[in-house]
Amino acid sequence: MPKIVLETKIDANIKIVFDLSRSIDLHKISTEHTKEEAVAGKISGLIGLGESVTWRAKHFGIYQKLTSKITEFKSPVYFADEMVSGAFKSFKHEHYFKNVNNKTVVTDIFYYKTPLGVIGKLANILFLRKYMINLLTKRNYIIKEFAESQKWKKIIRK
Protein backbone atom coordinates (compact mmCIF):
# COMPACT_ATOMS: atom_id res chain seq x y z
CA MET A 1 0.00 0.00 0.00
CA PRO A 2 1.49 3.39 -0.98
CA LYS A 3 2.20 5.80 1.88
CA ILE A 4 2.92 9.53 1.81
CA VAL A 5 4.42 11.28 4.86
CA LEU A 6 4.61 15.08 5.02
CA GLU A 7 5.78 17.32 7.85
CA THR A 8 4.85 20.98 8.09
CA LYS A 9 6.09 23.43 10.72
CA ILE A 10 3.62 26.19 11.53
CA ASP A 11 4.27 29.19 13.77
CA ALA A 12 0.87 29.11 15.45
CA ASN A 13 -1.07 27.65 18.36
CA ILE A 14 -1.75 23.90 18.10
CA LYS A 15 -5.52 24.31 18.64
CA ILE A 16 -5.81 26.83 15.78
CA VAL A 17 -3.83 24.56 13.45
CA PHE A 18 -5.89 21.52 14.52
CA ASP A 19 -9.18 23.32 13.86
CA LEU A 20 -8.02 24.73 10.50
CA SER A 21 -7.03 21.21 9.47
CA ARG A 22 -10.56 19.91 10.07
CA SER A 23 -12.32 22.94 8.60
CA ILE A 24 -14.57 22.19 5.64
CA ASP A 25 -14.45 25.89 4.68
CA LEU A 26 -10.64 26.04 4.61
CA HIS A 27 -10.50 22.77 2.65
CA LYS A 28 -12.67 24.44 -0.02
CA ILE A 29 -10.20 27.34 -0.21
CA SER A 30 -7.18 25.03 -0.45
CA THR A 31 -8.74 23.05 -3.30
CA GLU A 32 -10.20 25.88 -5.40
CA HIS A 33 -8.06 24.73 -8.33
CA THR A 34 -9.99 21.41 -8.42
CA LYS A 35 -13.35 23.19 -8.06
CA GLU A 36 -13.91 21.11 -4.92
CA GLU A 37 -17.19 21.58 -3.10
CA ALA A 38 -18.87 19.82 -0.19
CA VAL A 39 -22.15 18.41 -1.48
CA ALA A 40 -23.40 16.11 1.32
CA GLY A 41 -22.85 15.39 4.99
CA LYS A 42 -20.99 18.11 6.89
CA ILE A 43 -20.76 20.86 4.27
CA SER A 44 -19.31 23.71 6.38
CA GLY A 45 -17.70 24.38 9.74
CA LEU A 46 -15.48 22.00 11.69
CA ILE A 47 -15.87 18.27 11.07
CA GLY A 48 -15.69 15.95 14.07
CA LEU A 49 -15.71 12.32 15.13
CA GLY A 50 -18.23 10.18 13.27
CA GLU A 51 -19.10 12.92 10.78
CA SER A 52 -18.65 12.52 7.05
CA VAL A 53 -18.42 14.81 4.04
CA THR A 54 -18.93 14.14 0.36
CA TRP A 55 -16.73 16.18 -1.95
CA ARG A 56 -17.29 16.81 -5.64
CA ALA A 57 -14.10 17.82 -7.44
CA LYS A 58 -12.44 17.82 -10.83
CA HIS A 59 -9.30 15.68 -10.97
CA PHE A 60 -7.57 14.73 -14.22
CA GLY A 61 -10.34 16.50 -16.17
CA ILE A 62 -13.13 14.37 -14.68
CA TYR A 63 -15.64 15.32 -11.99
CA GLN A 64 -15.57 12.79 -9.17
CA LYS A 65 -17.25 12.32 -5.80
CA LEU A 66 -15.48 11.15 -2.68
CA THR A 67 -16.96 10.58 0.76
CA SER A 68 -14.72 10.45 3.82
CA LYS A 69 -15.52 10.01 7.51
CA ILE A 70 -13.67 11.07 10.66
CA THR A 71 -12.93 7.71 12.30
CA GLU A 72 -10.50 8.75 15.06
CA PHE A 73 -10.33 12.02 16.98
CA LYS A 74 -8.29 13.33 19.93
CA SER A 75 -8.27 17.13 20.07
CA PRO A 76 -5.87 18.85 19.52
CA VAL A 77 -3.27 16.17 18.76
CA TYR A 78 -4.76 13.73 16.24
CA PHE A 79 -7.56 12.85 13.88
CA ALA A 80 -7.97 10.44 11.00
CA ASP A 81 -10.31 10.42 8.05
CA GLU A 82 -11.02 7.40 5.89
CA MET A 83 -12.64 7.05 2.49
CA VAL A 84 -16.16 5.61 2.55
CA SER A 85 -16.62 5.79 -1.23
CA GLY A 86 -14.69 7.28 -4.11
CA ALA A 87 -12.12 6.70 -6.83
CA PHE A 88 -9.51 5.02 -4.62
CA LYS A 89 -9.86 1.41 -3.55
CA SER A 90 -9.31 2.83 -0.04
CA PHE A 91 -7.45 5.53 1.85
CA LYS A 92 -6.72 6.66 5.38
CA HIS A 93 -5.33 10.10 6.16
CA GLU A 94 -3.83 10.51 9.63
CA HIS A 95 -3.19 14.03 10.96
CA TYR A 96 -0.77 14.41 13.91
CA PHE A 97 -0.15 17.70 15.74
CA LYS A 98 2.69 18.36 18.18
CA ASN A 99 3.68 21.51 20.05
CA VAL A 100 7.43 22.11 19.72
CA ASN A 101 8.89 25.38 21.09
CA ASN A 102 5.53 27.19 20.80
CA LYS A 103 5.13 26.12 17.17
CA THR A 104 3.02 23.34 15.76
CA VAL A 105 4.50 20.45 13.83
CA VAL A 106 1.92 18.77 11.62
CA THR A 107 2.60 15.28 10.30
CA ASP A 108 0.33 13.90 7.61
CA ILE A 109 0.42 10.19 6.89
CA PHE A 110 -1.67 9.25 3.86
CA TYR A 111 -2.15 5.55 3.07
CA TYR A 112 -4.01 4.60 -0.10
CA LYS A 113 -4.80 1.74 -2.42
CA THR A 114 -5.36 2.33 -6.09
CA PRO A 115 -8.14 0.59 -8.01
CA LEU A 116 -7.74 -1.31 -11.27
CA GLY A 117 -4.95 -3.69 -10.24
CA VAL A 118 -1.79 -3.33 -12.36
CA ILE A 119 -3.17 -0.29 -14.21
CA GLY A 120 -3.75 1.50 -10.88
CA LYS A 121 -0.24 0.62 -9.68
CA LEU A 122 1.23 1.94 -12.92
CA ALA A 123 -0.82 5.15 -12.66
CA ASN A 124 0.52 5.60 -9.12
CA ILE A 125 4.11 5.28 -10.34
CA LEU A 126 3.61 7.55 -13.34
CA PHE A 127 1.59 10.40 -11.83
CA LEU A 128 -0.81 9.71 -8.95
CA ARG A 129 1.71 9.75 -6.08
CA LYS A 130 3.18 13.07 -7.24
CA TYR A 131 -0.32 14.49 -7.73
CA MET A 132 -1.34 13.52 -4.18
CA ILE A 133 1.86 14.94 -2.68
CA ASN A 134 1.24 18.24 -4.48
CA LEU A 135 -2.41 18.32 -3.35
CA LEU A 136 -1.51 17.67 0.31
CA THR A 137 1.41 20.12 0.22
CA LYS A 138 -0.81 22.88 -1.19
CA ARG A 139 -3.41 22.18 1.50
CA ASN A 140 -0.75 22.44 4.22
CA TYR A 141 0.57 25.67 2.74
CA ILE A 142 -2.92 27.21 2.98
CA ILE A 143 -3.33 25.98 6.58
CA LYS A 144 0.07 27.54 7.40
CA GLU A 145 -0.84 30.81 5.66
CA PHE A 146 -4.11 31.16 7.58
CA ALA A 147 -2.70 30.00 10.94
CA GLU A 148 0.30 32.36 10.84
CA SER A 149 -1.83 35.41 10.06
CA GLN A 150 -5.13 36.74 11.31
CA LYS A 151 -6.93 35.00 8.42
CA TRP A 152 -7.75 32.03 10.68
CA LYS A 153 -10.32 34.22 12.47
CA LYS A 154 -12.43 34.24 9.27
CA ILE A 155 -12.56 30.42 9.33
CA ILE A 156 -12.73 29.54 13.04
CA ARG A 157 -15.48 31.34 14.87
CA LYS A 158 -15.07 31.12 18.62
CA 105 vs. chain centroid, Å, equals 15
Mean pLDDT for the chain? 94
Domain that holds residue 44: 3-155
Give me the pLDDT at residue 11, please. 98
Task: Please tell me the total count of domains within the chain.
Answer: 1
The model carries a pTM of: 0.94
Residue 124 sits in a domain whose CATH number is: 3.30.530.20
Confidence at 104, pLDDT banded by 50, 70, 90: very high
What percentage of the chain carries pLDDT values higher than 70? Answer: 99
Q: Which tens digit of pLDDT belongs to each residue from 47-98?
A: 999 999 999 999 888 899 999 999 999 999 999 999 999 999 999 999 999 9
Give me the pLDDT at residue 1, please. 83
Give me the pLDDT at residue 60, please. 84
Give me the pLDDT at residue 158, please. 55
Q: Which tens digit of pLDDT belongs to each residue from 10-31?
A: 999 999 999 999 999 999 999 9
Give me the pLDDT at residue 146, please. 98
Beta-bridge mates of residue 38: 55
